[in-house]
Structure 1
Amino acid sequence: MTASDNARRLLKVAAAAADAKQGEDLVALDVSGPLPLTDAFLLVSGRNERNVLAIASEIEEKLLEAGQRAIRREGRTEGRWVLLDFGDLVVHVFHEEDRTYYQLERLWKDCPVLPIELPEPARNASEA
């Protein structure tokens, strides 16, 4: 199996939202083979608890605007590892220390990496 078109659409929106809030080290994994409950994971790091919460909030807001409500949220109180479940896509927003500790990429190393398409940065009018 491969990640559905809907999972890829949600991934694009979520990645752009994470990038807009300075999310770092974005990695998307196609987990549709081993996990029957979801198609893709998006892993994102934040520099501190405030950044983690800002990234998670922006992702949730942009996906809601795109018509997808979160089914479940975990970890908002601590701001160390926020999990957002959107059905076809599960987003993990980590504090960079926690991401290093839990190493989800290593746990899911057999899953294919999905390309992440980020919007081009806006150019200054002086550059045009």
Structure 2
Amino acid sequence: MTSAEYCKIAVKALEDKKAEDVKVIDIREISPIADFFIIADGMNQNQIQAMRDAVDEALYKADLKVRQVEGNQSSTWILMDYNDIIIHIFSKEDRLFYDLERIWKDGKEISVDEL
């Protein structure tokens, strides 16, 4: 399976948990650290945790295991590293504060249909 196919699975898992403003940024041409960033936010810590669990379960079932997770059940920013895909799950406030979309603006924001 390609990293793009794994991205689709992760985005679906996020959307199933009512993630808000899910964005996929293609960083293949600008950074060696990964192929894609997925950025999403949730309304509260319970939803953020549910989003994390849903992504981890869906990708695990697709035979992709997380390399590292930063953040815990009380975190308002969780980073999930799957080698070629890095998933950022934020509270709305933290997402606005860290503004990863601006930092990675040289990447190409793409829709799931483009994957």
Please classify the TM superposition score into its range, dividing by the shorter chain length: over 0.9
| Max Rg structure | 1
Q: Percent identity?
A: 30
* d(CA) in 1 for partners of 2:94, 2:16: 21
- Structure 2 stretches lacking a partner, 5+ long: none
> How many residue pairs were aligned?
113
| AA in 2 matched with 1:45 | D
**Match of 2:64?**
68
* d(CA) in 2 for partners of 1:37, 1:104: 15
**Match of 1:97?**
93
Superposed CA RMSD: 1.2
**Cα distance, 1:63 vs. partner?**
0.3
- Structure 1 stretches lacking a partner, 5+ long: 118-128
* d(CA) in 2 for partners of 1:54, 1:68: 18
* d(CA) in 2 for partners of 1:75, 1:35: 23
* 1:6–1:88 Cα contact (<8 Å) kept: no
Q: TM-score, normalised by structure 2?
A: 0.93
Moved over 4 A (4+): none
**Cα distance, 1:16 vs. partner?**
0.3
* 2:36–2:86 Cα contact (<8 Å) kept: yes
Q: TM-score, normalised by structure 1?
A: 0.84
* 2:30–2:106 Cα contact (<8 Å) kept: no
**Cα distance, 1:68 vs. partner?**
0.2
